[in-house]
Amino acid sequence: MQASASAIPFHETVQAVIYNHRSLLASVALILSSKGYAAILSPLLLPIILRVNSPESMKEFLKEYEKLNELYHRGTAADQGSNSKQHIPMEMHLMLSKKSIRECAIRALAVIGHLELAVNLIPTMDQEVVLDRRTYGFLLTHLKRRRSLLVEQPIFDPKKLTKVNSFTARVQRIYDEASYGHNATTTEMSLLHGQERFPIVNSELTTTSELANAIRRAKFGLPFNTGRLRESRRFPNQRILFQVISALSSPDVVLTTPSGAQETVALSRPRLLRLLRRRALYSTYVPSKMWLFMEMVYLWRSKRYEAVIKLFGTFFWSFGVPIEEINPIVRLADDLLSMESLPEFFNGNPSKGILPKGKLYPSSEQTSLVWQSLVMVHSGDKVKVVALYKKMMAFARTYHEASKQLHVNAETENPSLDTPYVLPPGLDPEADDSPSLPLVSLEHPLISAETYTPFIAQLSPGRKRPVLRRSDLFPSQIIRDMTTLGLRPTVYHFTELARGYALVGERTKALKVLDHLEAAHPVQASQEDTSELSGSSFEDVTSVNKERKDGLPLPDLVLYIALMRSFIMARDLEGVAEVDGKMKSRYGSMRDMQTRNEKEKVGSVKENLDYLEEVYRDWHSMEVARQLE
């Protein structure tokens, strides 16, 4: 008791000493940063310094701290000259040090409650700093905790709640983009559903130096499988991988050399791509699957659906997909995955295995891409699309019933240690009448919700198909099947559903879908709060209850733009005007959205606004033509 009592005054004394000498401590930290020790000492110094300073002092200190660190690294590289044989280039050293500083600062600010300052430290799209996914998860946890505290108060400020919702939506979006695997609600996957409405996003790499820097960063995230924990925890960034794959695969990307001349040697790109793929496949499991997934994403965006299926069948087990539909396409000759392009994996005998560690087991995102590619390959045959949907539902129901049975057994039974656990029929890998494949986790659905989107698009009444009979498949039936399996429809499913109604002139049904989503997420804003909402995030101009009991998604900007385009194609100008009014009531005018996007710097929103300008031009042209008639 005496020891604990004496520890309290000592702790208070230490806090008082740190507070009284906070300026000296900050000066020492700046001196160490100017000597190149910022990345090493940030976990020790930043939490203490940020805790005892005011918000304005924190901003100035962090700005100076990063500036001195950058000056040190650039000055060191200039002193050593271009002939220095560094294992890691200066850009990589600078990126890693900035990453360490930002992650430590964001965590420290989240703990002490300065959430707005922590969110402002998140790197923007033009900064070459990629933070760890766990940092965004840590910040997201504290934002949700702050939101819960505000909602639980009897009287709370709606403006504060709106600001916290805006920060939460922004961090949640970045957290989803940095995710990979079954736990991810990846934005990359959501972008796949808009290929028919939006153009392919070209690579942002325009010069050879940018490409070389991106390749170095990609290689740093593709460690060789040495078995060390430090190596296995290094993961590449998906955006960088996609940029590298796009620049090395697309013949439309022209790079500029430092002298100003355009690159003319085209034979080096495929060889460099094969070498990077080889390094990825010899890496650990997660980077290998991530590289292959980004290659599949690029092929999908390039509308090379057969190549997506062939790449999947070459490197993955046919798990969760119909093997009778995959094998015929895999056997076809393809310039990307021909026997000549991968001699180091085939060695003239594909039966011996094409990977150093054997084939990989796909995730739900990869199987979803395969199902979507199968739909696009057979998009001209409605009967085949319906048959594919029935096969997919067979996979989904089998997996759903198996996972449901395991869940019921775990809750109702109380097995002892002496009683062996018996798997449900069809899942025991040692049974004689079942395939001898390793059992995979049933924690997440094998057939994800994203898989259903192309089926809704292809079977919608707006497509140029034969007239649907009563016994045929309707998009609304597909959404009901999803809810039966416990899958929550996303905004992309309702977008395709509403577009199908709008294309055939069913204005009432199309607007009913939109009204249903808007009713679940009303905009809680009075007239005097309009200026405050104009600076909010695109995802966050919503009610305080973002998660409703009915589970309906939030209507996003893509939904409004797609509906306006569909009504224009159907020559229904009244429907276009009505959707435009609903969009402006939620997101403001075109100028407001452009101003807000300049502040947030969201690349996908900029593309959507460019597409919206084209929609407005077509709408204006149709109105002029109608007046002249």
What's the pLDDT score for residue 579?
93
As a whole number of angstroms, the distance between CA 251 and CA 264 comes to 11
Distance of CA 323 to the CA centre of its chain: 28
CA nearest neighbour of 216 among 107, 359, 94: 94
As a whole number of angstroms, the distance between CA 271 and CA 261 comes to 22
CB 587 within 8 A of CB 536: no
CB 497 within 8 A of CB 460: yes
As a whole number of angstroms, the distance between CA 88 and CA 401 comes to 51
For residue 318, what are the contacts with CB-CB under 8 A and spacing of at least 6?
326, 327
DSSP-derived secondary structure letter, 350? G
What's the pLDDT score for residue 235?
63
Instruction: Spell out, as residue ranges, where the chain has pLDDT lower than 70.
Output: 1-19, 77-89, 125-128, 156, 176-208, 224-235, 250-268, 333-357, 400-445, 461-473, 524-550, 597-604
pTM: 0.62
User: What is the three-class DSSP state of 105?
Assistant: helix
Q: What is the pLDDT of residues 420-441, one digit of tens each?
A: 333 334 333 333 333 333 334 4
Domain ranges of the chain: 13-80+89-156, 303-413+437-473
Which residues are bridge partners to 165 per DSSP? none
One-letter amino acid of 144: K
User: What is the three-class DSSP state of 318?
Assistant: coil
Q: Name the CA radius of gyration of the chain, rounded.
A: 27
Alpha helices in 316-421 (DSSP H): 323-330, 343-346, 364-377, 382-412
What's the pLDDT score for residue 473?
52
What's the pLDDT score for residue 152?
79
What's the pLDDT score for residue 19?
67
DSSP-derived secondary structure letter, 120? H
Distance of CA 302 to the CA centre of its chain: 19
Secondary structure in 3-state letters for 122-158: CCCCCCCCCCCHHHHHHHHHHHHHHHHHHHHCCCCCH
What's the pLDDT score for residue 457?
84
**Other CB atoms within 10 Å distance of the CB of residue 243:** 24
As a whole number of angstroms, the distance between CA 255 and CA 206 comes to 5
